[in-house]
Structure 1
Amino acid sequence: MFYTEAYAAAPNPGNGPQQAPGFGNILPMMIAMFAIIYFFMIRPQSKKQKETRRMLDELKKGDKVVTAGGILGLVTDVKGNVITLKVAPNVEIDFRKSAIATVVTAELEKDLKGETEKK
């Protein structure tokens, strides 16, 4: 009787060692999560930064711009990191390039005129 109980409790040599769940199961999930974060958060932000940097580098005299504070103006001078905007007749303001939010395109100008007509 004791012999049969000991035989039943012995491990089966045909199955091999049992592996406990560990880091190997979590690793693919962690890689997938990093890929998702990269493609939905990091990559779009870096694309936007490159586009903004390109836009600021291409600023030239005569461009219409909108500042981060919402001031519309015409670029009259670009000296390094400082831009001079004409915001009204005989009124010019100096801004840093980083204060420029966007360059006004024909489409954006049309939208801005539509907003002022509604008021």
Structure 2
Amino acid sequence: MLSILATASSAAAGWGGMIIWLVILFAFMYFFMIRPQQKETKKKNLMMAELAVGDTVLTTSGFYGTVIDISDDTVIVEFGSNKNCRIPMQKAAISAVEKPEEAAE
């Protein structure tokens, strides 16, 4: 009878240890994978919401340009110094935005 109780209590301890490790693993995944991705998504959405005409942008393909027009999910970006290269692209293709500095008076 005593051996049956010992086996049952060790099985319960095994399940309890497994549940604790699963909780630790989930917490690790949340704080090191899921939460940083959510912060990055919020940061990117804020950057896209503040996008304005005249901003200098870096595209995901590595080109720098100036925003000349914005519609819902499309922007027209002007590349180069000759002002002849204007390309419409999706907002999602923008990886960084730099606001123009105001001229010192």
Normalising by the residue count of structure 1, what TM-score does the alignment of the two structures yield?
A: 0.71
Task: Flag structure 1 segments of 5+ consecutive residues without an equivalent.
Answer: 1-9, 107-119
Q: CA RMSD in A?
A: 2.1
| Alignment partner, residue 86 of structure 2 | 92
User: Deviation string for 1:70-91 (max 9, x for gaps)?
Assistant: 1100000001111011112222
Normalising by the residue count of structure 2, what TM-score does the alignment of the two structures yield?
A: 0.80
| Alignment partner, residue 10 of structure 2 | 20
Quick one: distance in 1 between partners of 2:99 and 2:53? 15
Matches within 5 A, 1:33-112: 33-88=25-80, 89-104=83-98
Identity %: 33
Q: Which has the larger radius of gyration?
A: 1
**Would you say how many aligned residue pairs link Structure 1 and Structure 2?**
94
Quick one: distance in 1 between partners of 2:76 and 2:32? 37
Compared with structure 1, are the counterparts of its residues 17 and 78 closer, same or farther at alpha carbon in structure 2 (3 Å cutoff)? same
Could you tell me which amino acid in structure 2 is paired with residue 86 of structure 1? E
Displacement over 3 Å in runs of 4+: none
Task: Flag structure 2 segments of 5+ consecutive residues without an equivalent.
Answer: 101-105
Compared with structure 1, are the counterparts of its residues 86 and 23 closer, same or farther at alpha carbon in structure 2 (3 Å cutoff)? same
Greater RCO between the two (CA within 8 Å, min separation 6)?
2
Compared with structure 1, are the counterparts of its residues 17 and 101 closer, same or farther at alpha carbon in structure 2 (3 Å cutoff)? same
3-state SS in 1 of match to 2:61: coil
Compared with structure 1, are the counterparts of its residues 68 and 17 closer, same or farther at alpha carbon in structure 2 (3 Å cutoff)? same
